[in-house]
Structure 1
Amino acid sequence: MRFVCALAAVGLLAGCPAREIDGNPPPHFAILDDLDRTPDPACEGHWVAGIRGRVIDARGAGVAGATVQHCLRLTDGRFVCTSPPTAADGTVQLEMTDDAGWYAYVFDPEVRCVDELTVRVLRRSMPTRYATAYCPVELDPDAAVQLLPHPAVLHPVDEPSALPPPGDEAAPRDVALPDGVTLTDVVPGALYGDYEALRGASLPTDPNHCFLRSFENLETLLGLYALAPEVESAEPIGLRLPNDADLAEGSTVTLYALGGLATLRPDGEAIPEGAFQAFGTATVVGDVLVSDPGVALPATSVIGWGR
């Protein structure tokens, strides 16, 4: 039966049961019924004709109306992020997930020979309710229609504890977020209109976060924090973080950030989409962690700190 269903996965046989995501079988998607899944014999990477997946919130409930973007590193060296599908009348369908959080997507033939795939998930709303999620996908070599092995999780974010009025939009100021995190030297005009939308929330240091599954320093991680909306500031933003581990004065920690679209370290080097990588250091000053001189927040995404 395993061999037979492997043939079905690449489109050579039908009738096998659908695989599951964390025990939940995907629903039927009509857009996949007539999809030609036959791989191109010239493709030396993964042949990905389509994908199915689920988006949930931190409580495990499906998130309806989420947008899912697929960032593909192709075998020919190109990097492509997909656009939302369009309806028959040409309307762009930003709300891609159903009431239970499920979605399916068909890739254009010219972007099906893939080396790497990362999904970007967001739920558009005013005010912002969730931080944008990025999840690297471990591709199944036997499946032309991929199934996300785990749901993508959207984490809720909360209003700032103190958000100074925009006032002079060229003047830097500090923004106090929930749970003791402060963004320092924030210039409202450098956030492209997203200053008053800033939100944040602490996350558990859970190894099941999709972006931590290949993170090698999990045991030394002291904190995780989700920022929203996703934006790269045109002016450097510093950080003050809670010293919940009671590290001694002068102790240094490493700062990490989740890579998104065009996320750059202070030295200009990119953090790949879905990668959780170091971007600088912070030092204990008084009772808080303060980002070191020259260290700037790469983007308002998920950040972390650890020894």
Structure 2
Amino acid sequence: MAGLLVVSITLAVTIGSADIGALDVWRSIGAHLGLDRLGLDSSPLSTLRDGIVWELRLPRVLTAAGVGAALAICGAVMQTLTRNPLAEPYLLGLSSGASVGAVLVLVLGVGWFGLPVAAFAGALLALAATLALANRRGELPPTRTVLAGLAVSYLCSAATSFIIFWSATGDSYRGILSWLLGSLGGAAWNDVAVVVLAVAVIGTALLSRSRTLDAFAFGDGTASTLGIDVNRTRWTLLILVALLTGAAVAVSGAIGFVGLMVPHGVRLVVGAAHRRVLPLAALTGASFMIWADTIARTLFDPRELPVGVVTAFLGAPVFAVLLRRRRVGQ
């Protein structure tokens, strides 16, 4: 999967109206990493072609990879914590909260530099509201947490609709709709830094809890008998998931189905052990998101689809299959 990810990154950067080859991609990367000074790059790219690779396509592809990895990891953890195979990263109302912050920025015209910050802040406020509503004497029962997340999500969605109806005018509708459906069109290197750093730090922290997540898969009672502080651990894991999801939503908008589909696909291949599921879900989610975004930007070129539309078209049939499997299993 790591090899497939490298190949996906390389090929996705070459796809577009400008004629860019795979070797051109690595020449550009090598030049910016200083390898040309070591005599390893004998044929540097022109300024225009280097700009297309380094400034336009590569940041977008790497952001897509980071977002896909983040959502896949969070989906796997949420499905285990709630013991619900239909759980996804947005179950705590994070995407709806981020949408409120983002729409406020877009409507007020603060500028794109404030959009990720506002979206992340909105996601954290939604998380705080969900956990406060679900908290019962210091405990976070899975069913109560899910219902609290749904309540906060509906409330934030209503707030978003009200803001759009009351304040949006002219071309602002297009920008708002693009963000709400998920888009990586404006990705830059600062977005790459945010989401990749979040995946590296928080993803590693979640991977270190693999054995704990294995215990949670059998229920709170089993986890408790194995010496795990169930309430404290669930609080910690939910906060980590929320931070990672918030970082992804802040740079890409709300992209659905990735956190639902990818963990199930990985489990079908490698089993349920989280020490295998989490890293493989991250790599698979990264490759999947790269190709979903590539389809979104090239299928109707020069028009571009929001990537959330592509993932929804791919995810809806998978969602139906999961529902059928669940019904047959019952």
TM range (shorter): under 0.3
Query: TM-score of the superposition, structure 2-length normalised?
Result: 0.24
- TM-score between both structures, scaled by the size of structure 1: 0.25
Structure with the larger strand share:
1
Quick one: higher RCO (CA 8 Å, sep 6+), 1 or 2? 2
Task: Point out the structure with the larger helix share.
Answer: 2
